[in-house]
Chain A
Amino acid sequence: MARALIVGGGAIGRGFLPWSFEDLPFDIYDASEALCQSMAERGGYSSFMSVEGELLEKKFCPDYASSKFGDFNLDNYDIVFIAVGPRNCANLPPALAKFGGPIFSIENDPNTVKIIKESLGIGNVYFGVPDVIASSTASPSNLAKDPLSLHTEDGVLYLEDSASVGEEIKPHLPNVQWVTQEKLSQEWDAKLFLHNTPHCIAAYLGFMWGRNYVHEGFSNSFVTRVVEGVIEELVLALKRSTKHNHDFLESYADKELRRFSNELLFDPISRVAREPLRKLAPGGRLMGALSMCLLSGVNPVHLGAGIAAALSYHDPSDRDYKSMQYLKHLEIKDFLRYFLEIMPDSLESRFVSKTHNDALQFLKLGLS
């Protein structure tokens, strides 16, 4: 019988992914021993999916969950999913290299495929796009019933079709969209720039406004207006700079605001906004979007405000907190240069340096 191994039991790996399975038993490897032990003791966990304004509940019971990778016999699996967070992809258990079947990186970064291939010295790694908002926690009432419960959207999982994916596994993944690399690239651009970019900006604005969950920020009309502005700027930039179908881009953009403000998701700002330096990296969801706008002649006023909000993110529990403290002592262009290798004469650095103070002022006024 086919079987899957999920590496990383977080929002995507535990909360969303198993909804895509049908008669597909799975095990979970997660670095947190407490999580694995708790899943074993409780006989699984509940995931709640938001579908058309209602929450569906499903209890998932991984056959086995462990924080010790040596406990897993890789011969038992037909497919492996990696959902550990982009920064952890270079430090996967080396024994994973012995797995001969397809490994899908469903991180929010296609570079993770290269990173995993290089760090493990293997070639059987493919990209997947989980087009979904999956929370790492749940509503207070659902957490009271099951502290391991999670909320997720009814999303779509796109996986790169490859000859190494056996035909016997596909019937067990009926909701997965198996797509060509070209189609995946279109989905990825849309996901990165029309979803990830405004989503994280919504989180940074929500943080500035003192809220805990992303949906809470949307009760402020200024937040809604800025996020809408970002989406409009990016749709225009994508139309001008890619060959993607315009109807596809517009319909993708249309549903985004509704997704972000979904009150059933309870998506913590601390999850969506985490690691701002990764989000500000060249080519990524913020600086990559900025570069695309500037090169395609779009004036990114709202995106610039979003970047200013990202640069103001200072959550003491965040991995980048210490780095962000240096912004108090460095000029913006020097911060971008030393922390992100964005050189002062680049378009991105010049734009951010020039607009940062005004953007902050705009945000403070708007959020006051």
Chain B
Amino acid sequence: MKLYDLLGQVISVFSKNGSSDHAKSLSYKEESLRDVVTQLDRQLHATAEEFLRANLPQTLLISEENFRATFPLRAIIDEDSSLLVDPVDGSNNLVLGLKEFGFMASLISQGTFQESIVVLPTYNFFIHWSLEDGLFVPRQLNRHFHDSATIYLAYASSLSSKSSNLRSELLSHADTASSGVYRYGSSCVGLYHCLTGAHSNFVGLELRHWDVLPFFPVLDSLGAEIAYRFDEDRISCIVSFQHNLHLKLLNILENDLGNFHAFNPALRLILQDQA
């Protein structure tokens, strides 16, 4: 596995800097109050950059912190090797002193997943998946699938009008078909709680690919149903451990957005222009 050292370095950065005030000092991206960037985001981005330079120099870094509009989404399909990184998913939670934030990264080769790591420092937990060795977690995952499980809804800071209406429709459906909708500003932690069973479903609307993709092979290895679609540089998706609700929610999503694709880590990701 190639990302062992990156995992160790990320954990070390969180341990040394995660709770310092300096790590929480922030700025905003794209003039959106929801797109917070902390010093820790930059530090972890630099860690990934340095890791690639030293270990995988031919690998392209695609990180939330170096992403530009000119940087095409399809690089993850075209490149022989790319590392997709979200340095701190849930940066604003870090600033606010909430525990819902984490690091995610995936090593992707021409659109197929090779390896993923997820670090959840406030849960003292990490997840390491590789195509070769499957899933590894440092301690037993306590999974309890409750009848009262909830649905996690994640959506972009500025939704298209189509998705804006869809969000209302999903909220209304989720409120009647489940114990309710949760959102706490971190897809990473939302997906983790899909694994633990606290959320039966995760629905993402027009997210950035680094917000969710690294978690897909992890969830798939534990039997989740995953469907996704790319629209321009955004991804919408549904992750489920409850089949019937999955079908209902997927139906709503597809009615509004068009066909979704079933995720399979062994198959190349499908961009919309290839569908």
Interface residues of A (CB under 8 A from B): 322-323, 325-326, 328-331, 333-334, 337-341, 343-344
Residues on A with C-beta less than 8 A from B15 are: 331, 333-334, 337, 344
Question: Is the pair A338, B136 in contact by a Cβ cutoff of 8 Å?
Answer: no
- Closest chain B residue to A334 by CB distance? B11
A28 to B273, CA, bound (A): 63
Residues on B with C-beta less than 8 A from A325 are: 4
Question: Is the pair A334, B138 in contact by a Cβ cutoff of 8 Å?
Answer: no
Question: Is the pair A337, B7 in contact by a Cβ cutoff of 8 Å?
Answer: no
Interface CB pairs A-B, < 8 A, 27 = A326-B7, A326-B8, A326-B138, A328-B4, A329-B5, A329-B7, A329-B8, A330-B7, A330-B8, A330-B11, A331-B8, A333-B15, A334-B8, A334-B11, A334-B12, A334-B15, A337-B124, A338-B124, A338-B125, A338-B126, A338-B138, A338-B139, A339-B139, A340-B139, A341-B124, A341-B139, A343-B124
- Closest chain A residue to B3 by CB distance? A329
B127-170 interface with A by 8 A CB criterion: 136, 138-139
Question: Is the pair A338, B4 in contact by a Cβ cutoff of 8 Å?
Answer: no
Residues on A with C-beta less than 8 A from B4 are: 325-326, 328-329
B1-54 interface with A by 8 A CB criterion: 4-5, 7-8, 11-12, 15
Residues on B with C-beta less than 8 A from A328 are: 4
A337 to B18, CA, bound (A): 14
What is the minimal beta-carbon distance from B234 to any residue of chain A, in angstroms? 33
A264 to B5, CA, bound (A): 45
A331 to B16, CA, bound (A): 11
Residues on B with C-beta less than 8 A from A339 are: 138-139
What is the minimal beta-carbon distance from A353 to any residue of chain B, in angstroms? 11
Residues on A with C-beta less than 8 A from B126 are: 338
A343 to B124, CA, bound (A): 9
Question: Is the pair B136, A322 in contact by a Cβ cutoff of 8 Å?
Answer: yes
Q: For the complex, count residues of B whose C-beta is within 8 A of A.
A: 13
Residues on A with C-beta less than 8 A from B124 are: 337-338, 341, 343
Closest 6 CB pairs of A and B: A329-B8, A329-B4, A339-B138, A330-B8, A338-B138, A334-B11
Residues on A with C-beta less than 8 A from B11 are: 330-331, 334, 338
A325 to B138, CA, bound (A): 11
B107-132 interface with A by 8 A CB criterion: 124-126
Residues on A with C-beta less than 8 A from B5 are: 329
A22 to B4, CA, bound (A): 55
Residues on A with C-beta less than 8 A from B139 are: 338-341
A344 to B19, CA, bound (A): 13
Give me 14 other A-B pairs in contact (C-beta within 8 A), A325-B4, A334-B11, A341-B124 excluded. A328-B4, A329-B5, A329-B7, A329-B8, A330-B11, A331-B8, A331-B15, A333-B15, A334-B15, A337-B15, A337-B124, A338-B138, A338-B139, A343-B124
Residues on B with C-beta less than 8 A from A323 are: 138
What is the minimal beta-carbon distance from A340 to any residue of chain B, in angstroms? 8
A340 to B140, CA, bound (A): 11
A362 to B126, CA, bound (A): 32
A334 to B11, CA, bound (A): 7
Residues on A with C-beta less than 8 A from B7 are: 326, 329-330
What is the minimal beta-carbon distance from B59 to any residue of chain A, in angstroms? 18
What is the minimal beta-carbon distance from B271 to any residue of chain A, in angstroms? 34
Residues on B with C-beta less than 8 A from A343 are: 124
Residue among B5, B7, B11, B139 with the most chain A CB within 10 A?
A: B11
What is the minimal beta-carbon distance from B106 to any residue of chain A, in angstroms? 18
Residue among A331, A333, A334 with the most chain B CB within 10 A?
A: A334
- Closest chain B residue to A327 by CB distance? B8
Residues on A with C-beta less than 8 A from B125 are: 338
What is the minimal beta-carbon distance from A208 to any residue of chain B, in angstroms? 23
Residues on B with C-beta less than 8 A from A330 are: 7-8, 11-12
- Closest chain B residue to A328 by CB distance? B4
- Closest chain A residue to B128 by CB distance? A326
A151 to B138, CA, bound (A): 35
- Closest chain B residue to A333 by CB distance? B15
A344 to B124, CA, bound (A): 11
Residues on B with C-beta less than 8 A from A337 are: 15, 124
Residues on B with C-beta less than 8 A from A344 are: 15
A25 to B123, CA, bound (A): 50
B189-213 interface with A by 8 A CB criterion: none
A315 to B224, CA, bound (A): 33
Question: Is the pair A331, B138 in contact by a Cβ cutoff of 8 Å?
Answer: no
What is the minimal beta-carbon distance from B103 to any residue of chain A, in angstroms? 13
A329 to B4, CA, bound (A): 6
What is the minimal beta-carbon distance from B23 to any residue of chain A, in angstroms? 16
Residue among A328, A330, A333 with the most chain B CB within 10 A?
A: A330
Residues on B with C-beta less than 8 A from A333 are: 15
A275 to B70, CA, bound (A): 51
A341 to B149, CA, bound (A): 26
A343 to B7, CA, bound (A): 18
What is the minimal beta-carbon distance from B215 to any residue of chain A, in angstroms? 18
Question: Is the pair A331, B12 in contact by a Cβ cutoff of 8 Å?
Answer: yes
- Closest chain A residue to B14 by CB distance? A334
What is the minimal beta-carbon distance from A109 to any residue of chain B, in angstroms? 16
- Closest chain B residue to A336 by CB distance? B124
Residues on A with C-beta less than 8 A from B136 are: 322
A131 to B275, CA, bound (A): 67
What is the minimal beta-carbon distance from B254 to any residue of chain A, in angstroms? 39
A322 to B4, CA, bound (A): 12
Residues on A with C-beta less than 8 A from B8 are: 326, 329-331, 334
Residues on B with C-beta less than 8 A from A338 are: 11, 124-126, 138-139
What is the minimal beta-carbon distance from A356 to any residue of chain B, in angstroms? 15
A344 to B138, CA, bound (A): 16
